[in-house]
Chain A
Amino acid sequence: KQEVTQIPAALSVPEGENLVLNCSFTDSAIYNLQWFRQDPGKGLTSLLLIQSSQREQTSGRLNASLDKSSGRSTLYIAASQPGDSATYLCAVNYGQNFVFGPGTRLSVLP
């Protein structure tokens, strides 16, 4: 069964810290992997998409890496800000359907 897990489930850090969110998947035959952000009471917003042939993608202070062989992806957030507080979900695409992880709830304290 294709499963996606995210550790930790919740994370609280002081403003300015660099942090890493983890995503693991059981089936490495993926097309791509996407990181989403979800604010309370809101829908999901796409942050980064990494194709299976890529090792990493960057957008501003965000950097996502992908290691297909080990079934892992990380989302690195540099110089965290209170505005980064949200739930971050990874979604692994196995072809026309995403398998979503449960998310990591991030709180950045001022």
Chain B
Amino acid sequence: DAEITQSPRHKITETGRQVTLACHQTWNHNNMFWYRQDLGHGLRLIHYSYGVQDTNKGEVSDGYSVSRSNTEDLPLTLESAASSQTSVYFCASSPNRDFWNTGELFFGEGSRLTVL
């Protein structure tokens, strides 16, 4: 079955280190998204991509970067991890550019990142 997978599922790192969270989907969806989920805040959009070589900043993009070299993958990089970036990170994908109209948004199982 087609799916969306995130790795690692759990990671502990130290302040100042570079961290990359992987997201891989096998649906051939053009649209991919990264969110972070913090207690009391709901999910907030970090970055998104509508296709290869396309990347866009979301609501909370400071300290994060993404690259899209192929359709299947959208890795999220924390250039210099900070304690404020301790969170659960979710990757999502959609087959439609107007996912917001169709409701077709499929989520991975999340990556829990702890920055000490």
Contact = CB atoms under 8 A, between A and B. Distances in A.
Contacts of B40: 102
Secondary structure of the A side of the interface?
Answer: strand
B42 A89 contact: yes
Nearest to B110: A43
Interface in A4-37: 4, 31-32, 34
A41 interface: yes
B116 interface: no
B53 interface: no
A95 interface: yes
B109 A97 contact: no
Contacts of A97: 45, 58-59, 100
B84 interface: no
Interface residues of B, number: 24
A100 B42 contact: yes
Nearest to B10: A41
The 6 closest A-B pairs by CB, nearest first: A43-B107, A100-B42, A49-B103, A100-B43, A44-B107, A93-B100
9 contacts: A4-B42, A32-B100, A32-B103, A43-B110, A46-B105, A91-B42, A91-B43, A102-B39, A102-B41
Contact of B100 (A41, A96, A100, A102): A96
A98 B37 CA distance: 13
A44 B90 contact: yes
B101 A31 contact: yes
Interface string B18-41: 000000000000000001000111
B95 interface: no
A96 B106 CA distance: 15
A102 B38 CA distance: 8
